[in-house]
Amino acid sequence: EVQLVESGGGLVQPGRSLRLSCAASGFTFDDYAMHWVRQVPGKGLEWVSGISWNSGDIGYADSVKGRFAISRDNAKNSLYLQMNSLRAEDTALYYCAKAFSSGFPAGGMDVWGQGTTVTVSS
């Protein structure tokens, strides 16, 4: 079964850091680009960051550029999001998503995890 499982979310104070993980299974992880997408409850989807199959191409939304860092470990079938200098507006459900393609453009995101919740509050 193709599956993505996110972890690492939680309650964190403003200015602190958090690292999200996404464990992939059921497909050849290093054939595909991967993305992080977030959603504030009751609001829309916001693309956060993406990484190509070999980490050669990386992109970030303007709202997180310079604070977040995406990475992947193909040997471990895992995707990561290091989130630094967290702000209240980063509070959201964070989804990990598999792209159709190996790089950019994503060509569509066809597999999604169930998400991990990040709450930034003092």
Partner 1 sequence: QSALTQPPSASGSPGQSVTISCTGTSSDVGGYNYVSWYQQHPGKAPKLMIYEVTKRPSGVPDRFSGSKSGNTASLTVSGLQAEDEADYYCGSYAGSNREVFGGGTKLTVL
Task: Return d(Cα 28, Cα 20) in angstroms, integer.
Answer: 21
Termini Cα distance of the chain: 39
Nearer to partner 1, 63 or 78 (CB): 63
- Would you tell me which residues interact with partner 1 (CB under 8 A)? 35, 37, 44-47, 50, 57-63, 95, 97, 100, 104-110, 112-115
CB of 122 to partner 1, least distance (A): 28
Q: How far is the CB of 105 from partner 1 (least distance, A)?
A: 4
Q: Which is nearer to partner 1, 75 or 94 (CB)?
A: 94
Please name the residue that has the structure tokens 């960051």.
49
For residues 77 and 56, is the Cβ–Cβ distance under 8 A?
no
Closer residue to partner 1 (CB): 84 or 101: 101
Q: Which residues have CB under 8 Å from 1's CB, separation 6+?
A: 25, 26
